[in-house]
């Protein structure tokens, strides 16, 4: 299983990528960096990849899921309810390709503000 590190300011969370074509394309593009946008308890940011919606794409996701949102070419981190959520579970604006899951506590991202730089890198390249 391929492992990545997601960092924003002083937060570092490891995540595992699944065995999908979306995960493979993201892995090959690493490292990636973007400016955080927040939407409820979701962080998303555009990445320079155009990936089609996969057959298993869905809007109902779980805390800790990593998704790729095809309409915005965006990397998404879900850690709680969003404005589209009917309850306590996260819900994307529209179906996302789920390509991984945070291994650590994804709710730590609640402190990240819009405009903060988010960096995604392969775990073996992390320094320190």
Count structural domains, the chain.
1
CA distance 51 to 36: 20
Rounded to the nearest 10°, the torsion over CA 50, 59, 115, 31 is -40
Q: What CATH number is given to the structural domain containing 97? A: 2.40.100.20
Q: Provide the domain limits for residue 53.
A: 3-125
pLDDT digits (tens, 9 = 90+) for 80-110: 999 999 999 999 999 999 999 999 899 999 9
Residues 6 or more apart whose Cβ sits within 8 Å of residue 34:
45, 46, 47, 75, 117, 118
Using alpha carbons only, give the angle 66, 3, 116 rounded to the nearest 5 degrees: 55
CA distance 63 to 106: 7
pTM for the structure as a whole:
0.94
pLDDT digits (tens, 9 = 90+) for 28-40: 999 999 999 999 9
Mean pLDDT computed over 16-41: 98
Decide if pLDDT at 58 tops 80: yes
CA distance 19 to 42: 23
């Amino acid at each position: 299983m391929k492992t990545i590190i997601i960092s924003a300011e002083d937060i570092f969370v490891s995540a595992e990528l699944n065995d999908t074509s979306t995960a493979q394309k993201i892995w090959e593009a690493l490292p990636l960096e973007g400016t955080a946008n927040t939407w409820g308890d979701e962080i998303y940011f555009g990445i320079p990849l155009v990936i089609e919606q996969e057959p298993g794409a869905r809007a109902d996701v779980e805390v800790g899921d990593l998704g790729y949102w095809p309409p915005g070419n965006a990397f998404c981190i879900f850690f709680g309810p969003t404005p589209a959520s009917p309850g306590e579970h996260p819900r994307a604006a529209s179906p996302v390709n789920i390509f991984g899951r945070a291994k650590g506590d994804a709710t730590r991202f609640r402190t990240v503000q819009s405009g903060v730089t988010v960096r995604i890198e392969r775990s073996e390249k992390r320094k320190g």
